[in-house]
Amino acid sequence: MVEPISLTVLATSIVGFVFTTASTTVVQKATEATLEKIKTLANMVRERLKSNPQVVTELEKESDEDKDLETIRFYLESELRQNKDFREDVQRLYDEINQALENEGEGSNIMNVYGGKAYQQNQNKGKIYNADQITINEK
C-alpha cells in the first residue's frame, strides 16, 4: 500500500518547502498566481496546526536550524491522515504549485531527509510515484 508513504512524502515536502527558507530562490522567481497559491497553502497548513502549541512554537522560530521540522511534519501528517477533505485540498494545491513551478522553469528535484530517511520528489509533468523502494517496468 503506497498511501502512508505518500502522506509522509507530502507532509515532508510541504514542511521543507513552505516552512523553511530553502525555497526562497524559487519563490522570488514565481509568478503572482503561483505566489498566491504558495501563500494559500502555507496559511491553510498554519490554520490547521495553530491549535497545537508545539507546532506554533516551532513555526515562530526565525532560523530554520532552530526549527524542529520533524515535529511540524509529524503533526501535519497526522492531520492529513485524519481529515480527508483537508488532505485532498492540500494535495490539490501542492500539485498545482509544483506544476506551475515546473511550467515556469523553476521545478526541481526535491530531497528532504528526516530521521535518517530521505524522501525525493520529482515533478516533471509525468507520472508521480511515491514509495520507499520502487521498480517501474513500463513499455
pLDDT digits 0-9 by tens, 34-81 = 888 888 998 999 999 999 999 999 888 888 778 888 899 999 999 999
130 in a domain, yes or no? no
- Is the separation of the CB atoms in 110 and 121 below 8 Å? yes
Count of structural domains within the chain: 1
- Point out which residues pair with 120 in neighbouring strands: 111
| Residue 46 forms part of a structural domain | yes
pTM across the whole model = 0.65
Residue 81 in grid coordinates: 491522515
In a domain, 132, yes or no: no
- 137 falls within a domain: no
How many beta carbons lie within 10 A of that of residue 115, not counting itself?
Answer: 8
pLDDT, position 111: 64
> How far is C-alpha 69 from the chain's CA centre?
12
Which 3 state secondary structure label does DSSP give 109?
Answer: strand
Give all strands (DSSP E) within 1-128, no chain letters: 109-114, 117-122
Domain with 50 in it: 3-122
CA 83 to CA 43: how far, in whole Å?
Answer: 17
